[in-house]
Amino acid sequence: MMKIVIAGKVAVKRERRDEAIRVALAMAEATRAEPGCVEYRFSTDLGDPDTFCIFEEWDGEEALERHFRSEHMKVFQQALPELLAGGVVIRRYAVASVSDM
Q: Can you list the domains of the chain with their CATH numbers?
A: 3-95 (3.30.70.100)
Is-contact 20 81, C-beta < 8 A?
no
Is-contact 100 13, C-beta < 8 A?
no
The Cα–Cα gap between 55 and 29 comes to: 14
Is-contact 49 87, C-beta < 8 A?
no
pTM above 0.85, yes or no: yes
Query: Helix (H, G, I), strand (E, B), or coil: what is residue 16?
Result: helix
The Cα–Cα gap between 77 and 62 comes to: 20
pLDDT mean by block of 10 residues, the chain; 101 residues = 94 97 97 98 96 97 96 96 92 92 91
